[in-house]
Amino acid sequence: MPVTVVDHPLVRHKLGLLRENNISTKNFRELANEIGRLLTYEATKSLPTEKKTIHGWAGPVEVDQIVGKKITVVPILRAGLGMMDGVVDMIPGVKVSVVGMYRNEETLEPVRYYVKLAKKIHKRHAMILDPMLATGGTLVATINLLKEAGCRRIMGLFLVCAPEGLARLEKEHPDVEVYTAAIDERLNENGYILPGLGDAGDKIFGTK
């Protein structure tokens, strides 16, 4: 499975600031979006471009334009919304497909409670947003949904990944491309990533 840890001084520095226990909601939000932008830069590196001649100020000039399949950004509710603005800054016209899942406490399986996908999603590359790849349960369910809808190239952007979540993804969806700022040590007994960021949703929404 292609996993890219975006090893850049800006990403490492910003991730370090995010890990601070007493970080404010404002700073957490800003940094999550800033890292989202930098992950997008890396994840879009392989998009094909084509030459086009336009009218420049001094006459015809050859420029590059992105061609081929368009992208849909897929934030997983609710924490995925915390990276969305940063990603949309980089791809301003992008269509957004929102997915909400909750965990059935008896079966422990993720259940879809809200799905609103971009039109003709089968013609788009999907870019899933979730700050934390922990156990991978919600992610795998979201990828199943996107594949059912016909998406063939699926990327996932995460601030932090747990090795356990990556192993599950490798087993169930080895074709999915992962872009992350860090792979941390492990999950604790409650499914939180260590050293991690704590509850990313609470930090983004200020609900802690």
Tell me if residue 78 falls in helix, strand or coil. Answer: coil
Q: What is the DSSP letter of 23?
A: -
Q: Which CB, 128 or 132, lies closer to ligand URA?
A: 132
Contact 148, 177 (CB under 8 A): no
- Site stretch for ligand URA (CB under 6 A), options 43-51, 66-74, 151-159, 199-207: 199-207
User: Binding to ligand URA by residue 201, rule CB under 6 A?
Assistant: yes
Instruction: Give the list of residues 6+ apart from residue 140 with CB closer than 8 angstroms, or none.
Output: 168, 169, 172, 173
User: Binding to ligand URA by residue 41, rule CB under 6 A?
Assistant: no
Please tell me the count of residues contacting ligand URA according to CB under 6 A.
10
Q: Examine the residue annotation and report whether 202 is marked as an active-site residue of this protein.
A: yes
Candidate list 85, 103, 184, 207, residue with the active-site label: 103
- Which residues make beta-bridge pairs with 66? 49
Give the one residue of 36, 86, 110, 196 binding ligand URA; rule: CB under 6 A: 196
Residue 110 marked ligand-binding: no
Residue 72 marked ligand-binding: no
* Catalytically active residues, by annotation: 103, 107, 199, 202
